[in-house]
Structure 1
Amino acid sequence: MKPTLRIFASLSPGKWRFPMVAALGASLLLSLPSWAATAPTQLPPHSVYGTAPPMTLLVYSIAPDLLAGWNFPLDKMAGLGMSTNSEYLLPAARHLPVLGGWDPGDKPELERVLAIHPQLALLWAPYLDNAGLRDALQRIDVPTLTVRLKSLNDYPAAYRLLGDRLGQAARGTLLAADFQKILDRLQQLRDSIPQTQRQTVYYAEGVDGLMTDPADSPHTEVIRAAGGDNVFTGKATALKGMERVSMGQVLAWNPDVILVQDPVFYRRVYGLPAWQGLKAVKGHRVYLVPRQPFNWMDRPPSFMQGLGALWLAHVLYPQQSKMDLNREIQDFFQTFLQVNVTKTQAQAMWQP
């Protein structure tokens, strides 16, 4: 399924429902650019709004100067444990406004969105491309572009599409090619690992480590991409994930490796009596998911999952992966984030 494009007509002043919009009145009823007909070759700075973090971070990786704002505060915990660290972000992006969004845990701030007059809003298909969202954006005269990002395999096409639409075709092509190389390397690794040798993985979320996501969840795609075998094969009950499980169930699974999302739980896990009998704990194979500058696993899912999958492949299969992880991190940061990191900085990201 290719990404689809939708354009909305302006509403009359009497149809606006937000106080700020009502006050501004007809002066804001500007004609919309025809995104369906032609793609602009130039957009003004800070004119593209991502309605969910995967869209926002996608824009940031292609053209950070076009990003209108963030969906949640930087350097703070947001809904569902989403967090980021601005240390490795470009300085100009660190002070962009928080505009909210429609992803679970976010709250859209439509008046703030309207105040910056974005020329384009990105919708996340297939998860957050719906009538309610489109109607809300229609009310504030913001045209939309729908981008499909259901799995890591969608990133090359998404980069090419968005690079073309944002007048950044060369950069979009570069990122598409680099991401495809990562996918191809991961596929080769998975093909080289017999099923009987796959490492079992438990993804421990929450402050007590007893929340997780199932094997087929978008939140655990990094595990699948790296060739891991997620021990939780149940079904998700909601898009936001984080299903509650019992300590008894974790003990029954007895995973080879535990991935931890919450730093507080990571600092405690080796001292918790209930966890001492687990194979992963006894073997010191409990790992905190890196989050520089965005989470490498999920919350939010983003292009950083490409690096996360390389990291996890190295963790699970150090001999077969045959990679210099510090060099991989340095190269990824230079290409996708346009910042240079030292070997020492790279190592600190995955060996806290």
Structure 2
Amino acid sequence: MRTTLVRQWRLRIGLLIATLLPALPAWSATAPTELPPHSVYSTAPPLTVLVYSLDPNLLAGWNFPLNKMAGLGMSTSARYLLPSTRNLPVLGGWDPGDKLELERILAIHPKLALLWAPYLDSAHLGDELHRIGVPTLAVNLKDLNDYPAAFRLLGERLGETDRGEQLAAAFQKILDRLRQIRSNIPQAQRRTVYYAEGVDGLMTDSADSPHTQVIRAAGGVNVFTGKATTLKGMEQVSMGQVLAWNPDVILVQDPVFYRRIYHLSAWQGLQAVKTHRVYLIPREPFNWMDRPPSLMQGLGALWLAHVLYPQQSKIDLNQEVPAFFKTFLHIDITASQAKAIWQP
């Protein structure tokens, strides 16, 4: 009880001090670029992974716990993260399902907070952080095509210009490669895909959702064309709808459901099940599809292009995965480790 009261008073005092400070502007080009370690807080997982890729030493904390499931089925494995980042604090965020912990943020005194545009960058969110003395910078990440510019922006603002340019160029090569693969697949020959989420596989995301960018980028056709009702996604569908769609390929998010799908009578009539074209989405160290959406979707799109069009794409994942991990995640892995990740 005493500890809780102390925390509450610390937060109140911090907020009182912050209200006495002049209003803080958003982070600008004239702001200092030299930031101390662990001083950049990202309010949503896509930006947290972006900062990790740019410079792990700048990362102030995670949005949800590592090595366990969090809200909306999000998960992260620390096995392929740098040891220096595995024990960073969990600070929460504004991603749907998360709860912002102002006290935790105040305790680490971040020098900058990143807002996810155009989804979670409202004036209210910025005001909350300005209220405790933290300037903000909105970073646009609407789709995969925005990543090169986002890398360059953060590289310039955080004093990592060369690294930002390196990552921007590397990600652009992935985008260009995916664009070439799509151009070689006639629309009539594109594979239909159902994205199965939830413990029963009867939740999914729409074709225009940020959660299904991997399908679009890889040249697949998402069978669910309905409009998303929320940013968090995971729309409920019926077994009858899935049977009517009868997709060529099924991507599965939940490992338990993946182990069950071939034994469930309701699913056995589907073309994807009959032809054994059901795939568990890789999730090391961050999910390759979404939950959270991140730069891993670039690698996820290469993986899915290989799954959908192995002959046309000519992608060797045992080379592509280690190269991606080294470039974007600061980790060296072997070809055998890579295979265990993309082909679980």
Counterpart Cα distance in 1 of 2:21 and 2:45:
27
Supply the distance in 2 between the matched residues of 1:29 and 1:295 (Cα, whole angstroms). Answer: 42
Q: Which runs of 5+ in 1 are unaligned?
A: 1-17
> Are residues 34 and 227 of structure 1, via their aligned partners in 2, closer, same or farther at CA, if it must alter by over 3 Å?
closer
Structure 1 segment 22-171 matched on structure 2, within 5 A: 22-24=12-14, 25-26=16-17, 35-171=27-163
Matched, 1:189 2:181: yes
Q: Does 1:230 align with 2:222?
A: yes
The whole-number CA distance in structure 2 between the counterparts of 1:306 and 1:37 is: 28
CA offset digits 1:17-49 (Å, max 9, x no partner): x74232345399678698324243321000000
Q: 1:29 to 1:178 in 2, by over 3 A?
A: farther
Cα distance in structure 2, aligned partners of 1:143 and 1:315? 43
Task: Give the AA of the match of 1:47.
Answer: S
Partner Cα distance (1:150, 1:34) in 2: 20
Query: Within 1, Cα distance between the matches of 2:18 and 2:233?
Result: 42
Distance 1:341 1:237 in 2: 39
- Which residue in 2 is equivalent to 1:7? none
Q: Which of 233, 255, 259 lines up with 1:267 in the alignment?
A: 259
Shift of the 342–237 alpha-carbon distance from structure 1 to 2, 3 Å rule, reads: same
Does residue 303 (structure 1) correspond to residue 332 (structure 2)? The answer is no
Mark the CA change 1:37 to 1:85 in structure 2 (over 3 Å): closer, same or farther. Answer: closer
- Equivalent position to 1:255, from 247, 268, 291: 247
Partner of 2:5: none
Structure 2: which 5+ runs fail to align? 1-7
Q: Counterpart of 1:200 in structure 2: which amino acid? A: T
Q: Letter of the aligned partner of 1:297 in structure 2? A: M
The match for 1:287 is: 279
> Residues of 2 paired with 1:36 and 1:257: CA distance?
46
1:347 to 315, 319, 339: 339
Q: 2:11 aligns with which of 6, 21, 26?
A: 21
Percent identical residues: 76
Distance verdict in 2 for CA 1:164–1:331, change over 3 Å: same
Q: C-alpha separation between the residues in 2 aligned to 1:254 and 1:281?
A: 10
Give the Cα–Cα distance (whole angstroms) in 2 for the partners of residues 37 and 133 of structure 1. Answer: 21
Cα shift readout 1:206-232 (whole Å, capped 9, x = no counterpart): 000000011111110100000001011
Deviation per CA, 1:73-100: give whole Å up to 9, x if none.
Answer: 0001000000000000000000000000
Amino acid at match of 1:157: A
CA distance in 2, matches of 1:257, 1:232: 13
1:85–1:294 CA contact under 8 A, matched in 2: yes
Q: Give, in angstroms, the shift of residue 135 of structure 1.
A: 1.8
- Aligned mates of 1:115, 1:33 — CA distance in 2: 21
Partner SS state of residue 33, structure 2: coil
**Contact residue 39 and residue 164 of structure 1 kept, 8 A:** no
Contact (CA 8 Å) 2:91, 2:101: kept in 1 or not? yes
Could you tell me how far apart the structure 1 residues matched to 2:154 and 2:21 are? 24
User: Counterparts of 2:149 and 2:31 in 1: how far apart (Å)?
Assistant: 16
RMSD: 1.5
Matched pairs, number: 335
1:96-151: CA deviation from partner (whole Å, max 9, x where unpaired) = 00000000011111100000000000000000011221121121010000000000
Instruction: Extract structure 1 runs of 4+ deviating beyond 4 A.
Output: 27-34
- SS for the counterpart of 2:124 is helix
Contact 1:186 1:310 in 2 (8 A): yes
SS at match of 1:172: helix
Taking structure 1 as reference, are residues 177 and 39 closer, same or farther at Cα in structure 2, changes over 3 Å only? farther
- Do the aligned residues in 1 keep the contact of 2:145 with 2:175 (CA within 8 Å)? yes
1:323: Cα distance to partner? 1.5
Deviations 1:255-308 (A, max 9, x none): 000000011100110110000011100111100010000000011110000000
* Preserved contact between residue 39 and residue 167 of structure 1 (Cα < 8 Å): no
Instruction: Determine the C-alpha separation between the residues in 1 that align with 2:307 and 2:317.
Output: 10
